[in-house]
Structure formats: C-alpha cells, structure tokens
Chain A
Amino acid sequence: MFLVRYAYAELTRRRARTVLAVLALAVGVAVVVGVGSAARAVDEAQREVLDPLGTLGTDLTLTRPVQVGGGGLLDLGPEEQALLEAENGTAAFEFDNLGDPGEPFERDVFLPATQLTFPEEEAARAAQIDGVEAVAAGLTVVVLHQEGLVPAPEDLAEAQRLGPAALNRLDFTFDTWTMAGIDPEGGSLALAEAGQVSSGRFLEAGERGAVLASDAWAARRGIEAGDELRIAGREYTVVGTVRERLGAQAADAYLPLAELQELAEREGRINLLAVRAERSELVGDVEEALAGLVDGAQVGASADVADRVSGSLVDAADLSAGLARVVLIVSLIAAAAIAVLVTLGSVSQRTREIGTLRAIGWSPRRVVGQVLGESLVIGTLGALVGSALGAGAVWLVARRGIELEASGASAPAIAGLESVPAAFGIGELATVNETISVVPQATPELLLAGGLLALGAGLVAGLAGAWRAARIEPAEALRRVG
C-alpha cells in the first residue's frame, strides 16, 4: 500500500519529530506501567500484611460487652444473672482472708473483663448456623498479681478514698497482664496460632502446664521459652513465645481454653467467639444469626483491623489510591497533548504538500487516512517503546526491592481496657512492626492498558491532524511558498 510506504518515508525521514512524539507517548505508557505496577504491588503487600489468609471479609467475632447503664438491660435468667454478678465482684480488693495486716502475701486474681462471659455451648450452636465454616471459642481475662504485706483495713479505706493513685502507697505491688484461653487447633480464628511462634513451640491440644508468652510481654517480664512461671499457685512452663499479629487481637499470655477456664474458675464460660463464614456474601446472614444467639451480644467484622494499621506501607497504599491516579491522568494528558501538537505541527508544515496531493487527485479521505495512519504508527511505536521502558524500569525497581513498613498496635483482647487506670500497667499495648518487601510487577494487563492508552493518544492526535488536513483548501495551500 502506498499509504504504508509514504508513512514509513514520512516517519523515518522526519526523524526528530517522530522520536519526539513516540517518546512522549512512551513516557506516558511507562508511567502507567510503572505507577500501576507499584500501586498494585503496594495493594497486594497491604492485603498480605493485613489479611494473610484472605479471611478478612469472612471473619466475625461475637462478644458480650458490659452494658453501660446497668444490668437491667440484659434480659437474663436469675442463674445467669447471679453468675455474672459473682464473676464481676470486687474480690481484688478484699484482703480480709489473706491473713493478718503486715503479713506477707502473694496471689493472682482473675479480674472481670469488660466482656461478659457466656456459656461455652453457644460455640457449638454457632457452628450449626447455616453458612458458618468454623468457630473458635476463647476466654480472655485480666490477671492481677498482688504481692506484699497485707494492708490494715483503715489504710486500705484511706487509699480507696483518695483514688487509685494512692493504692501505690500501700505496701504491696501490682502486676497485671491479659491472658487468653484459646483453642490450640483454632487456626487463624484463635487469638494465637502456630504461625506466630517466634521461639520454642506452640501449645498442643489437651496439654496441661504449658503457657505461651507474647514477645512483648516476654520482653517486659524478662521471660523466655523454657522458663517456669507461677500463676495462681500453679507451676507453668513457658513452652514458646509468639509474635503479635498486625492489627489483630492479642493477649500477653495464652493457655488452652479448658485450663484457663479451670484456673480462673470460669468452667464452661467463654467471652469471645470467632466465627468464619463460608463466603463473604453470607457474612450478613451469619452476623444476624449470631446476634440472636447470646443476649447482649455484639457481633463485629474483623475487617476493621485495617483501620488500626499505619506506616509507610499504608501511606504508600493511600498514595497509590489518590496521587497515582492524578499522576496517571496528568502524564497521559501531557503525552497526548504533545502527540497532538506534533501532529498538528506536521500537518501545518505539510500544507503545501497536502495541497499538491489534492491537486493531483488525492481525495480528502485519502489525505485524512494518511495523517491518521502515520499517527497510529506513532501510537504503536509509543506503546511498544513505552511498554519496554516501563517493564524495564519496573524490573530494575523490583531487582532492588522496596521495603515498606506497616505498624500498628495489636488490639487488646479485652475491649475497653484502655479505660483501666494506668496504675494497673495495662494499656501498654505492643506495637507491631512488620517490614514487607514490595515487588512491583509489570503484568500483561498493565502493559496492555498502557499500550492501548498510547494507541488512543495516537488516535486522538491523528484525528486532530486529520481534522486540520481535511480543512486544507488546495487552491490556498498551493499559494504557500516554502
């Protein structure tokens, strides 16, 4: 075809112009490929960090928070009512039966959590709900360790009148930590799982006398795997330590559920039920059914853990959502604008040439086709060069790797702990840092998208040029000199 030979001649013999237009489009494509693959990589890394198992959309938790405004809101049977009252008593501040004032003492009190307990059987019932894939029951408590001399009743009364800070003036020390009873076979639904072990080993089902310590707590207490630990008068071996899960709920120490229930005298009681729906579409139905299971239940999705995470990874993800789009649009517009200007300049410089071709019998359609064809070749070259450029740049970055950090407090296993007085030492939550290597990849879809955008820009440029070429009047064009 003559068009092809003419286009080839035009593009190769006016090389500077061709190179300028091709490069403009190529840079546009490269930006699309580069920014696109970086954004994808960051999104993927973020998903990996926040939701390594891809269960964020299907996991629910059932708890029973203390209702502000009194127990009257709960429509409970007398037995359940009595149980909860006993559980939430003020045993921690009763020193009467410890011995005479001034005598040394040591004890562990399992404090009421702000999440009330409910019967363990609810876990089995939850498992029967349609659309539920798995459930894991848990019990979380605050352990208050007291050690020192038994206070005199009048000193105690004085201290209690002055407020929590005055408790420090008494001659004994507090130590508090959170403890979770977990199903060792609960997998990622449980508050801790085998994958988190950082030293030693994980708990085994049915095992007794074994405890797991969180890394943060172990560091704070100077504990390591293999150490012995006394809890409520019983001897435990720290079989391992676990690292916190980013943004997930965490406790300081973990026991098998049955053992904690026994130790804390809460047999048959749990206060956390993690439920996984079969599919994310079923979450709504499951949520509704769960809420009806326990009086005063609060059912929440675990998706909100993403909100508790920050760091350069999250910044990058936010950036990829916002700025990336702006960069893409701006660079594409700039690339297309340059291509349009180059094409218009070319047509205007070739006015007399086009007039001559019209004079010797070229139809306006043929002239338009010629200009469009040349622009499409430029668009194609821009797409190819840009894809290569973008893929090359991405490859270089991927080879060096980008390290981004995600950090977030692992959430307290006991909601509302933040309100516990600082004197209790609770509320110091472990900050979890995770460094992840982001590896951008120029996927075929991205290369295709970039290529199509370059072709589109070439087409726009061609249409602009063709529009101008079609309006050239041969009589007038031929009067031009030069």
Chain B
Amino acid sequence: MNTVTGHVTPPALQLGGLRREFSDGSETVVAVAEATATIDAGTVTSIIGPSGSGKTTLLQLLGLLDTPTAGKLAVLGQEAARMSAAERTRLRRDRIGFVFQHFNLVPTLTARENVEAALVGTGASRQERRERSSIMLDRVGLADRAGHLPQQLSGGEQQRVAIARALVGNPAIILADEPTGNLDEQTGQDVIELLLGLVRTSDTALVMITHDPAVARRADHHLRMQAGHLEEVLPEPEPPAAAPVPQPAPGRMARIVRRLRGGRRG
C-alpha cells in the first residue's frame, strides 16, 4: 500500500487532545483529560499509570468502543468521528484485536470456536475459518487444546486463546488491557513474550496497558497516564542484577511455546 504508490503508511493511531468525561447528571468525572500521541504502524507501546488514571477509558476510545467528549482520533488514517456505527464495527472486526485482563472468552465455546468467533462475518468460509483458527492456535502452542472449553484451560492458556483470537484476523492494531494482570509472574512473562513475538513478526502495532515495569520495558514507546493526562516517559531503568533481555528470535519462540506447554497450570 505504501511502497508501490510511494505514500507513507498512515500511523496506526493519531490522538489529538482526546478527552472523555462521564457525567451522571450532577457529577462529571474526567476520565481522560488530555491525550495527544501518534502510534506508528508496527510499533509496541506501553501505557503505565496508577489505577483510575484513565488507561482503560483511553484504550476503549482507541478501540472505537467509546466516543470521545472532545478531541480528534484517527485510526489507520481514518477520522473516527466521521465513521458510522457499522464502519466502526467493521474496523474493529477487520483491523483491531483486543486482549483483556480477564481473557473474556465465551465460556460455552471451545478454544477454537472462540478464535473463530473473531472471523464471523468477514466473509471467510467455514472451512477457511476453521483452518485459520487451527493455525493460530498452533502458533500460540495450543493445537492440542482446540476442543477444550475455557474452564478446562489454565489462565495462561486462556490468555493465549485470547491472543489467538485477537490475531487471527491479521489486525493492524492490537489493544491489550493489562494482559498479564491475572497471571502469575512467570506465565505473564511467557504470554508477553508470545504476544510480542507474534506482533513483531507481523506488521501489527501493539498498545498495552501494564503495571509490570518488566513488561513495559519491552515496548518501543512508553506512555504514562496521570490523572487523565497522557505523557511520554522514559522507560524505567532495569534492575541492576537483571541480564539484558534479548529480542525474541525464531528459536526463542519455540522455546517459549515449549515452556508454556510444560507449565499449563500457570
């Protein structure tokens, strides 16, 4: 799209003075006061900030699940304010993936059906949907768990199903809200490695909210929410004892998957 015509790839997300207020008649809460940033395609961005600072609200605005009270938002170069509800739905289906803290799998559907749910309505045939879902489950190391219900899976496995669901449609943007928030440290790290490995091998922009400095450090860009204000920050320095964390290489991915397979109850 860019190289042939010589156009520059539009940024994944462009936020200009984004604001979101909630009011219940008498009181008005400013969840997001001022958010201005540009998130380029294929980059990894972390958002940190105290609880209640507006991170989730911001992510929902970016994911077209909510509408800003003021400010501008462009998703993949398209002005959000000009989109119809149907266009927003289509964009979410085809270009955006979500990963949630509580995994949010449909409890009555199997792992593969949960992944497949993200392809419903895309025009892909049933056969195609199943194949793509199976391939995606294989890539998150859960090929042998395709027929399992969420309740039969560990937290780490559930989150990997959710990651497969977010990625199966080849989105341009993944929005993750504390994806490791419900996992123990080791499982959380493994899940993050997996997620990063997958987005870095595609050209997907990842925006993830996290409380974990170690997770935040893995990003290219570092943002912080402070009482509704978004600001760019420097990454927290690594603890002195820790070894430098290398970028994931193909061999490393295989190791992570193997480890995840071994420690299912994570």
Given contacts A6-B113, A363-B121, contact A357 B65 (CB under 8 A): no
For this complex, into which size category does the number of interface residues on chain B fall? Answer: 35 or more
Q: In the complex, are the beta carbons of B60 and A478 less than 8 A apart?
A: yes
B26 to chain A, nearest CB (A): 19
A361 close to chain B: CB less than 8 A: yes
B88-141 CB contacts (< 8 Å) to partner A? 89-90, 92-94, 96-98, 100, 102, 104, 106-110, 113, 116-118, 120-121, 126, 129
Q: In the complex, are the beta carbons of B108 and A361 less than 8 A apart?
A: no
Segment of A9-17, A80-88, A329-337, A431-439 in the binding face: A9-17
A482 to chain B, nearest CB (A): 8
Given contacts A9-B108, A9-B113, A478-B65, contact A360 B118 (CB under 8 A): yes
Given contacts A361-B94, A363-B86, A363-B89, contact A478 B104 (CB under 8 A): yes
A116 to chain B, nearest CB (A): 86
Identify the interface centre among B56, B107, B108, B121: most chain A CB within 10 Å of its CB: B108
Q: In the complex, are the beta carbons of A361 and B102 less than 8 A apart?
A: no
Q: In the complex, are the beta carbons of B60 and A475 less than 8 A apart?
A: yes
A346 to B102, CA, bound (A): 20
A220 close to chain B: CB less than 8 A: no
A181 to B106, CA, bound (A): 87
A320-366 CB contacts (< 8 Å) to partner B? 352-353, 356-364, 366
A481 to B102, CA, bound (A): 8
Q: In the complex, are the beta carbons of A353 and B104 less than 8 A apart?
A: yes
A148 close to chain B: CB less than 8 A: no
Residue of B nearest to A480 (CB): B102
A93 close to chain B: CB less than 8 A: no
Residue of B nearest to A370 (CB): B120
B71-101 CB contacts (< 8 Å) to partner A? 85-86, 89-90, 92-94, 96-98, 100
Q: Select one of A10, A14, A360, A474 contacting B117, CB under 8 A.
A: A360
Q: In the complex, are the beta carbons of B121 and A361 less than 8 A apart?
A: yes
Q: In the complex, are the beta carbons of A478 and B106 less than 8 A apart?
A: no
Q: In the complex, are the beta carbons of A366 and B121 less than 8 A apart?
A: yes
Which chain A residues border B166 with CB–CB below 8 Å?
360
A250-265 CB contacts (< 8 Å) to partner B? none
Q: In the complex, are the beta carbons of A478 and B93 less than 8 A apart?
A: no
Chain A facing B: main interface SS: helix
A356 to B103, CA, bound (A): 10
B52 to chain A, nearest CB (A): 12
B155 close to chain A: CB less than 8 A: no
Q: In the complex, are the beta carbons of B116 and A2 less than 8 A apart?
A: yes
Q: In the complex, are the beta carbons of A14 and B108 less than 8 A apart?
A: yes
A161 close to chain B: CB less than 8 A: no
Residue of B nearest to A482 (CB): B102
B66 close to chain A: CB less than 8 A: yes
B155-194 CB contacts (< 8 Å) to partner A? 165-166, 169
Q: In the complex, are the beta carbons of B66 and A2 less than 8 A apart?
A: no
A343 to chain B, nearest CB (A): 15
Could you give, for residues 209-237 of chain B, a 1 whenever the CB lies within 8 Å of some chain A CB and a 0 otherwise? 00000000000000000000000000000
Q: In the complex, are the beta carbons of B121 and A362 less than 8 A apart?
A: yes
A479 close to chain B: CB less than 8 A: yes
Q: In the complex, are the beta carbons of B65 and A479 less than 8 A apart?
A: no
A5 close to chain B: CB less than 8 A: yes
B63 close to chain A: CB less than 8 A: yes
B37-80 CB contacts (< 8 Å) to partner A? 56, 60, 63, 65-66
Residue of A nearest to B98 (CB): A359
Q: Select one of A2, A13, A359 contacting B65, CB under 8 A.
A: A359
A357-407 CB contacts (< 8 Å) to partner B? 357-364, 366
Q: Select one of A2, A359, A364 contacting B92, CB under 8 A.
A: A359
Which chain A residues border B149 with CB–CB below 8 Å?
13
- Cross-chain pairs A/B with CB under 8 angstroms, 23 sampled: A6-B106, A6-B117, A9-B108, A9-B113, A13-B107, A13-B108, A13-B149, A353-B104, A356-B106, A360-B98, A360-B117, A361-B90, A361-B92, A361-B93, A361-B96, A362-B93, A362-B117, A363-B86, A364-B85, A475-B65, A478-B60, A479-B56, A481-B102
- Top 4 A-B pairs, shortest CB-CB distance: A361-B93, A475-B66, A13-B108, A356-B104
Chain B residues in contact with chain A, CB under 8 A? 56, 60, 63, 65-66, 85-86, 89-90, 92-94, 96-98, 100, 102, 104, 106-110, 113, 116-118, 120-121, 126, 129, 149, 165-166, 169
Chain A residues in contact with chain B, CB under 8 A? 1-2, 5-6, 9-10, 13-14, 352-353, 356-364, 366, 474-475, 478-479, 481
Task: Given A9-B108, A475-B66, A481-B102, output 9 extra A-B contacts at Cβ < 8 Å.
Answer: A1-B126, A2-B126, A9-B109, A353-B104, A356-B106, A357-B106, A360-B117, A366-B121, A475-B65
